[in-house]
Amino acid sequence: TNKYVIDSIPGDGIGVDVTDVAMRMVDAVAELHDFSIEWRIRDWNSDLYKKTGRMMPVDGIEQLATGDGIYLGAVGTPDVPDDITLWGLLIPLRRKFDQYINLRPMRLLPGVKGSMPGLESLDVVVVRENVEGEYSTIGGRFGTGTPEEFALQEAVFTRKGITRVAHYAAKIAASRNGKLVSATKSNGIIHSMPFWDEVVAETLAEYPAVEVEKVLIDALAARVVMKPTTLSTIVASNLFGDILSDLVAGVAGSIGIAPSANLNPERRFPSMFEPVHGSAPDIAGKGIANPIGALWAAAMMLEHLGETAGAQSLTKAFESALADGIATPDLGGTATTESFADAVRERLS
Ligand code: NAD
Ligand code: IPM
Ligand code: MN
């Protein structure tokens, strides 16, 4: 039997609720499919920060580097600034482990209506650049206390960074319907986005079977809402991909169902799997968080580990619960996180 070492970081708020459910379901799947997971639970979160002034131990990265993967809930709490919590844990993990692909698939799930009237299908994968772009530390705040006060932040796009995300997205598009949309803003962002367009076009020239269409991000946002069935694979910069993935998930019914895989495709470092949503302070502690984003992310992790049958079993189980009308309040149902988990558990095969 294969055994995997997974570092689990439940984090803050509903991150704790949904990872708790997902780890139990993964263990149940493992038993049915003859593999096992050694979870190394890490209490790296905002409480640790309040106690120690750090979101993770000094050698946190070295500790995680010895595992087969990272499973994360969510990070962020209302009483600590987000730049401290996120830049103290989530963002450094993505960067130190060179998880330059953030893969965010979304489908209209069985029994789920979606937010747009008449929506019959939706099947979109957002391939988000995950380590550079608009998320940069270059810049600062100047002139504090003066009328001229300003904040400045540079975006950093590298040829290497754009090329590798474009290659990855091209392969995903080729494995789907051969159509790739590249999100851009080259009409208004004058230095970086024309460069993005150019490098995407050059890279895609190597994939004659993939048809690439560049779409300005503003019009693309409207298209996600109005004509989502015209979209299949989208490649986007870090910030555009962040926004698009919540938008697509919202159209498909709830951001609580959205999964993500932060991948280091070369497998030189562990990849990280997490729901797309955050710590949801507004519903934390109420026991009603939708665990699907976390479960689907766990299925992506099993797929990554090579446990394809286990991944399918998990996905089929939450889909079947939904098809039977069992859902949490964000999807219009009355299930709690726990009762939904029970329904999933009963349906694992
Ligand atoms: P959020 O995703 O936490 O919540 C947005 C809205 O969606 C809320 O109304 C919430 O109740 C709802 N929601 C989210 N997940 C849900 C689920 N599983 N089930 C049911 N409803 C769900 O976003 P936010 O409120 O903007 O951010 C809260 C905190 O989380 C902030 O500190 C933010 O920085 C952080 N955050 C962290 C991550 C991460 O760790 N990867 C991702 C996004 C936001
Ligand atoms: C996400 C989150 C993060 C991001 C935040 C919390 C920094 O929104 O994973 O989608 O923007 O990448
Ligand atoms: Mn986001």
pLDDT tens for the 349 residues of the chain, in order: 899 999 999 999 999 999 999 999 999 999 999 999 999 999 999 999 999 999 999 999 999 999 999 999 999 999 999 999 999 999 999 999 999 999 999 999 999 999 988 899 999 999 999 999 999 999 999 999 999 999 999 999 999 999 999 999 999 999 999 999 999 999 999 999 999 999 999 999 999 999 999 999 999 999 999 999 999 999 999 999 999 999 999 999 999 999 999 999 999 999 999 999 999 999 999 999 999 999 999 999 999 999 999 999 999 999 999 999 999 999 999 999 999 999 999 999 9
The dotted CATH code for 1-99+265-349 is: 3.40.718.10
Distances (CA, A) of 278 to 54, 249, 270, 272: 20, 13, 22, 15
User: In CATH terms, is domain 114-252 a member of 3.30.70.1560?
Assistant: no
Checking DSSP bridges between strand 259-263 and strand 101-107, what pairing results, if any?
antiparallel
Domain with CATH 3.40.718.10 in the chain: 1-99+265-349, 114-252
User: What atom in ligand 2 is closest to the CA of residue 246?
Assistant: 10
Q: Which residues have CB under 8 Å from 319's CB, separation 6+? A: 109, 110
* Distance from residue 246's CA to the centre of ligand 3 (Å): 6
Instruction: Measure the CA–CA gap between 93 and 181, rounded to whole angstroms.
Output: 28
3 state SS of 106: strand
Q: Whose CA is nearest to atom 26 of ligand 1?
A: 278
210 contacts 179 by C-beta, under 8 angstroms:
yes
Q: In this structure, which ligand is nearest to the CA of 247? A: 3
Instruction: Measure the CA–CA gap between 9 and 71, rounded to whole angstroms.
Output: 6
Instruction: Measure the CA–CA gap between 255 and 253, rounded to whole angstroms.
Output: 7
Q: Whose CA is nearest to atom 17 of ligand 1?
A: 256
Q: What is the pTM (predicted TM-score) of this model?
A: 0.98
What number of H helices and E strands is found in the chain? Answer: 12, 12
* Distance from residue 60's CA to the centre of ligand 1 (Å): 24
Q: Whose CA is nearest to atom 7 of ligand 2?
A: 86
User: What atom in ligand 1 is closest to the CA of residue 293?
Assistant: 18
Backbone phi, then psi, for 84, in 5-degree steps?
-75, -50
133 contacts 100 by C-beta, under 8 angstroms:
no
